[in-house]
Amino acid sequence: MALEDDIMRRRLLIDGDGAGDDRRINTLLRNILKFACANPESSDAEDVHNQYQKIMFSLGQARFSAEKISGIYSMNVKEQRNYDKQGKEIERKIEEAFEKIDSCKKEFIQAKRVRRNRQEYDSLAKQIDKHPERLLTTAKTEQLEKELRQHAETKQLLDNKLDLRKKQLHVLVHTLHELKGLLEDDDSALLLGKDEEPAENPISPVPSTDNSPMDIN
């Protein structure tokens, strides 16, 4: 790269983009002055012709250098405009790239949010699937409450029946105790009657009780 820059610099110096251009102009001016100040009568015609040829050659070189410099200048202007255009295009593309990057960032953040929401939704759906539906749960709850009421009513009926059986048993035990007492009293009276009265006295019958067997059902 440094070698190419050196070659371009030398070409520009040779083509007249520097001190060489001034030197050629100065040489051209000296030749013109010398040609103008020369006396046609005393000067050799061949020398005058040679000076004229040198002046025309120098003018041709100057014209060529001017046209070349003008062409280089025009080319540089076009290149500068092209570079400016390309620079603006590059800036526009850079801005579009930044806008696209910002849009991609927003889309990425939105995608992350959607993915997080979807994961939360899936987790909630799995948790919901583990539990029965509300209508089914309500129906089961009502069924259980109904069964509990039925069990409570059955328990109350059994408790009432048990209390009744306890009372009947108590009455039966009390009646048996009374009957036992009466039988003991009758036995004692019979024994005393045998000791005091003759054998021909009949034995008095056992008094009957009005207590009938109780229905314990």
CA nearest neighbour of 214 among 168, 178, 154 = 168
Looking at residue 133, its pLDDT comes to 66
Phi, psi angle pair for 144, to nearest 5°: -65, -40
pLDDT at 127: 80
pLDDT, tens digit (0-9, with 9 covering 90-100), for 81-132: 999 999 999 999 999 999 999 999 999 999 999 999 999 988 888 887 776 6
pLDDT of residue 209: 43
pLDDT for res 2: 61
Q: What is the separation, in whole angstroms, between the first and last Cα of the chain?
A: 126
Find all residues with CB under 8 Å of 175, minimum gap 6, and list them: 211, 214
The mean pLDDT value for 179-203 works out to 68
pLDDT in tens, 6-62: 655 555 555 544 446 667 777 777 777 777 776 666 666 777 777 778 888 888 887
**C-alpha R_g of the chain:** 71
3 vs 119, residue with greater confidence: 119
Conformation bin of residue 131: beta by default, left when phi > 0, alpha when psi is -120 to 50: beta
Tens-place pLDDT, residues 130-183: 766 666 778 888 888 999 999 989 999 999 999 999 999 999 998 998 888 888
Greatest alpha-carbon pair distance for the chain in Å reads 225
Q: Give 130 or 71, the one with higher predicted confidence.
A: 71
Residue 177: CB atoms within 10 A of its CB come to 10
* pLDDT on residue 214: 46
Is there a contact between 24 and 62 (Cβ–Cβ < 8 Å)? yes
Residue 7: predicted pLDDT = 59
**Which residues have C-beta within 8 Å of that of residue 34, sequence separation ≥ 6?**
51
pLDDT for position 194 = 65
Predicted local distance difference test score (pLDDT) of residue 93: 93
Four-point Cα dihedral 119, 125, 127, 130, nearest 10:
-140
User: pTM of the prediction?
Assistant: 0.36
* Displacement of CA 172 from its chain's centroid (Å): 82
Contact call for residues 153 and 146 (beta carbons, < 8 A):
no
- Residues 128 and 134: their CA atoms lie apart, in Å, by 10
Give mean pLDDT, residues 181-204.
65
Contacts of 214 by beta carbon, 8 Å cutoff, 6+ apart: 168, 171, 172, 175
Q: Identify the weakest region by mean pLDDT among 105-114, 188-197, 204-213.
A: 204-213
